[in-house]
């Protein structure tokens, strides 16, 4: 899969991101990286499909059992088809280039996830932008 | 006219106002403050100031528009013989020439880059005192003299070597950074956590579109104490990289004679003692002077050595 920074549309003024929630964080990925979103009907017998728990990857506490069921983002990339579990898929947002920033140097240097590449400024919230193809799982 | 210069300080950040006011009042200046552009215009209409130090980014009408309004009103007042031209100096963090030119185009006399520093203020005030009735016409000389500040400061320091320090509190201790790295101070609120960071990096703040990392200095220094409900963030800058440090409170700016600084006596673990330059008595307190550059080069920060 093409790295996020090279995805067609990235150099235009606006482009679409899928925004999803993970614990207290609002995260986003270029919408074209995600080939589907699943909720209840998560396939169980697909041997060629990988599953990644984004909470585990960020060392967050596991979801509470009483919480709503997770959403699964389907990504097809270099590692094949992968389902990435997140707390909730919030929807598509169109971001203007002026809303997007690089991570500050200190954050960029100390981040545990190389997939985190930037952030988007909304009126009252900040969305952290990820390249799902670059997820480090160990 | 009184010998005591009267200055209007305009900034929407109450903590910055407090710190700048502290600096100015130490120089025997009468300081009035305003927190937005409209209040600044009204204050200038009411009071004949010798100088206005105007933040450019303000809520409502910004510093540029406030200056235009002051100049338009002043023109009429000067024709009526009521008022002389007040010197307006932009306070800005913007280093771009076009931004600085916009200040001049709006009617400001010159631009002073933030942060305010004691030596800049001393130079300006010296000129105001020498030319109290016609401050505006000497502004170019004043600000030209600012460029020479480093040289004059060197002369002063050869007589009484001092270290300009920002003193702040952390837990039960009192600490200090060199002023040259200080950029601004703001209340510790709206810190957005970032996923997957070590515990000493709390997250980021958004200061008018500038995104700044925030470091918990207490955790970085291994200081065990609860965080007070109203803490402050000291935004610092080195080599173009801004970093905010969360502290309990930013207390005062001091000039500490070098001879009063002793080697550190408080025992820290080696990891921390490496970043301590020394200690000094300040009133009843013991101030631990931290070496900013060594902190920024430490393993837990290490952004410049990358």
pLDDT tens for residues A34-89? Answer: 999 988 656 666 667 888 889 988 888 887 766 677 889 998 877 788 899 999 99
Residue A89, domain extent = 13-134
Best of A56, A101, A106, A126 to substitute, by most chain B Cβ atoms within 10 angstroms, is A106
Query: Is residue A7 one of the residues assigned to a domain?
Result: no
Query: Is residue A1 one of the residues assigned to a domain?
Result: no
Query: Is residue A52 one of the residues assigned to a domain?
Result: yes
With helix as H, strand as E and coil as C, how does B90-146 read?
EEECCCCHHHHHHHHHCCCCEEEECCCCHHHHHHHHHHHHHCCCCCHHHHHHHHHHH
pLDDT at residue B84 in the model: 79
Count of Cβ atoms closer than 10 Å to residue B120 Cβ: 20
Is A128 in the B-facing interface, judged by CB distances under 8 Å? Answer: yes
List the domains of chain B with CATH numbers: 6-157 (3.40.50.2300), 162-297 (2.40.50.180)
What count of residues does chain B have? 306
Helix, strand, coil distribution of chain B in percent, nearest 5: 35, 30, 35
Query: Is residue A6 one of the residues assigned to a domain?
Result: no
Query: Is residue A3 one of the residues assigned to a domain?
Result: no
pLDDT tens for residues A110-137? Answer: 998 999 999 999 888 899 999 998 887 7
Query: Is residue A102 one of the residues assigned to a domain?
Result: yes
pLDDT at residue B145 in the model: 43
A116 with B198: Cβ contact below 8 A: no
Closest approach of B242 to chain A, Cα-based (Å): 8
ipTM of this complex prediction, to 2 decimal places: 0.81
pLDDT at residue B263 in the model: 84
Is B201 in the A-facing interface, judged by CB distances under 8 Å? Answer: yes
B17 within 8 A of B184, measured Cβ to Cβ: no
B264 CB-contact burial (10 Å; exposed 0-12 / middle 13-18 / buried 19+): middle
Taking CA atoms, B44 is separated from B12, B79, B137, in Å, by 17, 16, 18
Task: Indicate the number of domains in chain A.
Answer: 1
What residues in chain B have per-residue pLDDT under 70? 1-3, 26-27, 94-95, 115-120, 122-159, 266-271, 304-306
- pTM for the model stands at 0.70
List CB contacts (< 8 A) between B211 and chain A. Answer: 101, 103-104, 119, 121
Nearest CA in chain A to B305: A109
Nearest CA in chain B to A59: B196
pLDDT at residue B224 in the model: 81
Best of A86, A110, A120 to substitute, by most chain B Cβ atoms within 10 angstroms, is A110
List CB contacts (< 8 A) between B302 and chain A. Answer: 109
Query: Is residue A8 one of the residues assigned to a domain?
Result: no
**Euclidean distance between CA atoms B122 and B100, whole angstroms:** 22
B202 within 8 A of B193, measured Cβ to Cβ: yes
Query: Is residue A2 one of the residues assigned to a domain?
Result: no
What tokens does B233 get?
């963030």
What tokens does B48 get?
């004949």
| Phi, psi of B230, deg, nearest 5 | -115, 90
């Amino acid at each position: 899969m093409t790295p996020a920074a090279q995805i067609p549309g990235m150099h235009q003024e606006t482009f679409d991101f899928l925004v999803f929630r993970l614990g207290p964080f609002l995260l986003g990925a270029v919408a074209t990286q995600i080939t589907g979103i699943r909720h209840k009907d998560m396939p169980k017998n697909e041997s060629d499909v990988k599953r990644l728990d984004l909470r585990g990857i960020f060392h967050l506490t596991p979801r509470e059992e009483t919480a709503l069921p997770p959403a699964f983002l389907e990504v097809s990339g270099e590692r094949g088809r992968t389902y990435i579990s997140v707390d909730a898929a919030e929807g598509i947002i169109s971001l203007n280039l002026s809303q997007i920033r690089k991570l500050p140097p200190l954050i960029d240097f100390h981040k545990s996830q190389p997939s985190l590449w930037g952030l988007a400024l909304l009126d009252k919230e900040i969305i952290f932008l990820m390249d799902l193809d670059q997820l480090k799982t160990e | 006219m009184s010998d005591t210069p009267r200055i209007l300080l305009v900034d929407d950040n109450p903590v910055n106002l407090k710190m700048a006011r502290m600096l100015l009042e130490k120089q025997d200046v009468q300081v009035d403050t305003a927190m937005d552009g409209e209040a600044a215009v009204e204050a200038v209409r009411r009071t004949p100031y010798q100088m206005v130090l105007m933040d450019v980014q303000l809520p409502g009408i910004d510093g540029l528009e406030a200056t235009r309004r002051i100049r338009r009103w002043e023109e009429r007042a000067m024709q009526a013989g009521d008022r002389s031209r007040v010197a307006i100096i932009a306070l800005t963090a913007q280093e771009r020439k076009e931004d600085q030119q916009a200040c001049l185009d709006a009617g400001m006399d010159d631009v002073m880059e933030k942060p305010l520093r004691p030596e800049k203020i001393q130079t300006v005030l010296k000129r105001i005192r020498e030319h109290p009735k016609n401050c505006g016409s000497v502004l170019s000389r004043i600000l030209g003299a600012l460029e020479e500040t480093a040289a004059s400061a060197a002369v002063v320091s050869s007589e009484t070597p001092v270290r300009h320090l920002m003193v702040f509190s952390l837990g039960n201790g009192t600490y200090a950074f060199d002023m040259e790295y200080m950029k601004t101070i703001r209340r510790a609120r709206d810190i957005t956590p970032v996923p997957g960071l070590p515990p000493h990096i709390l997250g980021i703040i958004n200061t008018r579109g500038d995104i700044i990392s925030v470091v918990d200095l207490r955790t970085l220094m291994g200081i065990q104490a609860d965080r007070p409900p109203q803490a402050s963030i000291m935004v610092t800058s080195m080599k173009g990289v801004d970093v905010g440090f969360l502290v309990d409170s930013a207390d005062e700016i001091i000039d500490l004679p070098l001879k009063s600084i002793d080697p550190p006596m408080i025992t820290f673990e080696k990891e921390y003692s490496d970043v301590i330059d020394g200690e000094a008595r300040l009133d009843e307190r013991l101030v631990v002077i931290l070496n900013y550059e060594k902190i920024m080069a430490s393993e837990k920060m290490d952004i410049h050595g990358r």
